[in-house]
Chain A
């Protein structure tokens, strides 16, 4: 604990015995409940490298993983990215989905306001992510921008590999239509975000 910020302890360094004990803890001290199965504790390549590096991977690792993640984005078959901003506002407000208390498979939301400022009338917004107020006004509503926002919501790790933002499309937390509606909320000139 130096200078108020906790430095990683020496114990955190490579230690096979501790690694084994940690694996054992995960297996024995959690249990599947509702839709939250034990397989959720197994890390994929992104989760593992971000954990091991405390979200600071080497530049080469970052490049490779972002390419790998980019390839996992399923783009809309119709080539359209812009849905209905009114529906998008509902998706942004709704923070339900994928916990052990939620019905497996039930439609949930993005919980976007948990971390982002979005529409100006919603004042209960979190600050973990950047403010998205006026995003379309600032960055435009080009097809390229729509595609970027769609991809970012579908798989944020394709753009910033250790981002705190979930991969909403890849994890099936949001459907293609829900992501399109969010793109509209953020970029449509008629959306309150841009008025």
Chain B
């Protein structure tokens, strides 16, 4: 982005530190760690599978499952998302933008400045905008209203790439991390919240495109995989709980931290749909459907994924 604040138009703001304020170690450390994890995890997974194949000709399903489970255990032992959480916290607390303000008065639903537990109650209806908002659309609200950054600039490149890290994704890491251990309690009280859920449900089951896929094509049966990747059954409470409480997440195969909006975007890409607009009502509705289905579970993210 990458960054909302590092773009040329705002870089000249006096006192706007942007990325420069970050300790160099945060960005330079991330790559080698990511690579090490990716290599180690892949070697472990494949050696497990090779053993499984050697033992039984074609790989026995149980042996494959065991190898995949070991791989997930290993991933859970350390999560480079911590670096993104730290960067996000720094961005949150550093004055930036034309208004030269921090985000510390941003209202994520529990009152201005309250970050703890906020993610476990999103999406929700916000009185000031009159919209149901997920974390990322709410961050857009705060970046534009508190810091005065034009919305077009905020949403220009919301997802990290190899060459540029997204500030929004770092902020997502920080805010989500502040809900670790908190019980998911997404509100479905207001008519607009209920409408968002119902629209999200429709979108989840909507089959279209050259491949006839809906979200449900891959995510409404239990115990299925695409290649070696487990697919959560998002049409069950248990499946939605396990999946949603582990996002956003660090993606080992990409060496990047990924937000939930990114997750939806990349699913729609593989669904062969046109591209969903970032933080649009459609994406928020779908998030609402999955997040509310996860209610009652302990939020456990940011997670770490293949």
Residues on A lying within 8 angstroms of B by beta carbon are 1, 4-6, 8-9, 11-12, 15, 18, 21-22, 25-26, 28-33, 36-38, 40-43, 46-47, 50-51, 54, 98-101, 113-115, 120, 123-128, 133, 157, 164, 166-167, 171-173
Within 8 Å CB of A51, what residues of B? 205-207, 214
**Are A167 and B212 also in contact (CB < 8 A) when A40-B272, A50-B207 are?**
yes
The answer to the question of B152 belonging to the interface, with a C-beta cut-off of 8 Å to chain A, is no
Question: Once the chains are docked, how many angstroms separate the CA of A174 from the CA of B88?
Answer: 44
Say what secondary structure dominates the interface of chain A.
Answer: loop
Shortest Cβ distance from B235 into A: residue: A6
Question: Once the chains are docked, how many angstroms separate the CA of A127 from the CA of B213?
Answer: 16
Within 8 Å CB of A166, what residues of B? 210-213
- Which residues of B from 179 to 210 have beta carbons under 8 Å from A? 194-195, 197-199, 201-203, 205-210
Could you give 16 example pairs across A and B, Cβ below 8 Å? A6-B235, A9-B197, A12-B198, A28-B280, A29-B280, A37-B274, A46-B212, A54-B216, A100-B269, A127-B224, A128-B217, A133-B58, A157-B212, A164-B213, A171-B210, A171-B211
Within 8 Å CB of B202, what residues of A? 12, 18, 22
**Contact A4–B283 (Cβ < 8 Å):** no
The answer to the question of B221 belonging to the interface, with a C-beta cut-off of 8 Å to chain A, is yes
**Contact B274–A123 (Cβ < 8 Å):** no
Give the shortest distance, in Å, between A67 (CB) and chain B (any CB).
18
Within 8 Å CB of B223, what residues of A? 127
Interface size class of B (residues with CB under 8 A): 35 or more
Within 8 Å CB of A124, what residues of B? 49, 227-228
Shortest Cβ distance from A157 into B: residue: B212
Within 8 Å CB of B201, what residues of A? 8-9, 11-12
The answer to the question of B64 belonging to the interface, with a C-beta cut-off of 8 Å to chain A, is yes
**Are A99 and B199 also in contact (CB < 8 A) when A50-B207, A113-B227, A123-B59 are?**
no
Task: Supply 6 further A-B pairs (C-beta < 8 A) apart from A31-B277, A166-B210.
Answer: A5-B237, A25-B281, A29-B280, A30-B276, A36-B272, A120-B57
Residues on B lying within 8 angstroms of A by beta carbon are 49, 52-53, 57-59, 64, 194-195, 197-199, 201-203, 205-214, 216-218, 221, 223-229, 231, 235-238, 240, 268-270, 272-277, 280-283, 285, 293
Contact partner of A21 (CB less than 8 A), chosen from B194, B199, B217, is B199
Give the shortest distance, in Å, between B133 (CB) and chain A (any CB).
14
Q: 10 nearest interchain CB pairs?
A: A29-B282, A11-B198, A29-B280, A166-B211, A171-B210, A33-B275, A123-B59, A126-B226, A30-B274, A25-B282
**Contact B226–A114 (Cβ < 8 Å):** yes
Within 8 Å CB of B276, what residues of A? 29-30
Question: Once the chains are docked, how many angstroms separate the CA of A18 from the CA of B228?
Answer: 38
**Contact B275–A36 (Cβ < 8 Å):** yes
Shortest Cβ distance from A156 into B: residue: B212
**Contact B49–A1 (Cβ < 8 Å):** no
**Contact A41–B208 (Cβ < 8 Å):** yes
Question: Once the chains are docked, how many angstroms separate the CA of A114 from the CA of B211?
Answer: 13
Contact partner of B49 (CB less than 8 A), chosen from A98, A115, A123, A157, is A123
Interface centre among A98, A115, A123, by most B CB within 10 Å?
A: A123
Within 8 Å CB of A126, what residues of B? 224-227, 229
Give the shortest distance, in Å, between A182 (CB) and chain B (any CB).
16
Give the shortest distance, in Å, between A9 (CB) and chain B (any CB).
6
Give the shortest distance, in Å, between A161 (CB) and chain B (any CB).
10
**Are A164 and B227 also in contact (CB < 8 A) when A37-B274, A100-B269 are?**
no
**Contact B224–A40 (Cβ < 8 Å):** no
Shortest Cβ distance from A36 into B: residue: B274
Give the shortest distance, in Å, between B222 (CB) and chain A (any CB).
10
